[in-house]
């Protein structure tokens, strides 16, 4: 059910009531301190094999806008870096702020970006299903990419032009053959640490890989995310979908490593 959200009555500071792991020892997101992140020469580059990727649809799940992928085989995977296996792409989604406000989940020395893109992958080598992987400590790998406002992003238009079709919570529409490779920055240098889902159920099952270089998107493109609604078509109170981000959580002694 709809037992959590980003409002005053159901927001991140209250999630621990239904999801006690919210106060766990490896929660996400975190504030990343580049000077403290240890440069680990054993950390190789990440490899993204998205060429054969097959997007299926784009949906408004009442918390974000999500593009789902066909994940019945290893056609779209992330591997290398901190990962021992290839992890299969399952979906990507965004977190963002209000007009001109900040909206990323991870922060860098306290600096927030306008938005953050998450590409969710699961360890299909070790686990049978996504659901099983989502509760395992090495089950998921999420690639985080910061979005900052600036020039128009030529490929983000494919997504922002489709948002009007999924305005309401529960709406879904076809979204075929979108390759998220076009959303990557030029550098794949990253920070990595062990964390969790940033939304309930907040499972501590994520190896986070956060790219250092943001991508630029225009304020006009960002404004299209904000025309989405948290609420369904049948609900009379229309609530604009914005500020759907969890603030940074305690590091609790964790080490953040840097690729280079
Ligand atoms: N910010 S995040 O990357 O942590 C994240 C946010 C939302 C979701 C989601 O469920 O849509 C996901 S998810 O696709 O990984 N689903 C997690 C909840 C879930 C667990 C087990 C089975 C189905 C869904 C991840
Ligand atoms: Zn996310």
Complex ipTM value: 0.97
Neighbours of 245 (CB within 10 A): 26
The pLDDT value given to residue 2:
65
Measure Cα distances from 226 to 160, 210, 234 in Å.
10, 24, 19
- Distance between CA atoms of residues 171 and 158, nearest Å: 18
| Stretches in the chain below the pLDDT threshold 50 | none
Check residue 260 and give its pLDDT. 79
118 CA distance to ligand 2 centroid (A)? 5
Closest residue (by CA) to atom 25 of ligand 1? 197
Peptide bond into 137 cis (omega under 30): no
Tokens describing residue 245: 């981000």
Q: Which of 59, 90, 120, 196 to mutate to test the pocket of ligand 1 (most atoms within 8 A of CB)?
A: 120
Task: Using most ligand atoms within 8 A of CB, pick from 93, 143, 198, 241 the residue to mutate for ligand 1.
Answer: 93
pLDDT at 27: 99
User: Ligand 1 centre from 34 Cα, in Å?
Assistant: 27
**Alpha-carbon dihedral sign for residues 43, 252, 212, 96:** positive
Residue 101: the pLDDT is: 82
């Amino acid at each position: 059910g709809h037992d959590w959200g980003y409002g005053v009555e159901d927001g991140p500071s209250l999630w621990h009531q239904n999801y006690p792991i919210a106060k766990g020892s490896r929660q996400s997101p975190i504030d990343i301190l580049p000077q403290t992140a240890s440069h680990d020469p054993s950390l190789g580059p990440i490899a993204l094999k998205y060429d054969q990727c097959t997007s299926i649809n784009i949906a408004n799940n009442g918390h974000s806008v999500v593009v789902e992928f066909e994940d019945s085989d290893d056609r779209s995977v992330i591997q290398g870096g901190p990962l021992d296996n290839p992890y299969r792409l399952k979906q990507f989604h965004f977190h963002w702020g209000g007009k001109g406000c900040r909206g990323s989940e991870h922060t860098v020395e306290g600096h927030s970006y306008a938005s953050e893109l998450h590409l969710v992958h699961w360890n299909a080598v070790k686990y049978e299903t996504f659901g099983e992987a989502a509760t395992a400590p090495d089950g998921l790998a999420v690639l985080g990419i910061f979005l900052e406002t600036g020039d128009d992003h030529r490929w983000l238009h494919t997504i922002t032009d489709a948002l009007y079709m999924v305005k309401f919570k529960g709406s879904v529409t076809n979204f075929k053959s979108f390759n998220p490779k076009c959303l990557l920055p030029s550098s794949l240098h990253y920070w990595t640490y062990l964390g969790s889902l940033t939304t309930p159920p907040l499972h501590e099952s994520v190896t986070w890989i956060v790219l250092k270089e943001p991508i630029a998107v225009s304020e006009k493109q960002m404004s299209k995310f904000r025309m989405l609604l948290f609420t369904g078509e049948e609900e009379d109170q229309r609530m604009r979908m914005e500020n759907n981000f969890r603030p940074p959580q305690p590091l609790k002694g964790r080490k953040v490593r840097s690729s280079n």
